[in-house]
Amino acid sequence: MSWSVVAGRPTFEGKKVYGVPFAQIAKDQGSLVVKNIVALGALQAATEILPKDSFLTAVRMELKHKAALIPLNEDAFEAGMKAVK
């Protein structure tokens, strides 16, 4: 089953486009809920808009009351980065 909602890779003249299957990667990590974190990892790897640790610190802070979910989210972030590199 394909998890992508995009039929093909779009093109934008002069811009690099990355095809990252967020939902499939999240499913492979064990939970579709982390697809947004996969997307953050991909964004960081593609743009380096912020340091990796800035994203991860924000995720950890947001999940401080759900500490058991932190490793899953860290793994999802890394998987998103890996999909772009």
Residue 46 counted as domain residue: yes
Residue 55 counted as domain residue: yes
pLDDT at 1: 47
- Judge whether 42 and 18 are in contact, CB under 8 Å: yes
Residue 69 counted as domain residue: yes
Residue 70 counted as domain residue: yes
Structure confidence by residue, pLDDT tens digits, 65-81: 999 999 999 999 999 99
Range of the domain at 37: 22-84
- What is the SS3 string spanning 39-75? HHHHHHHHHCCCCHHHHHHHHHHHCHHHHHHHHHHHH
- Predicted TM-score (pTM) of this structure: 0.85
Chain mean pLDDT for the chain: 90
Cβ contacts of 13 within 8 Å, gap of 6 or more: none
pLDDT at 33 over 90: yes
Number of domains in the chain: 1
Q: What angle do CA 80, 84, 85 make, to 5 degrees?
A: 115
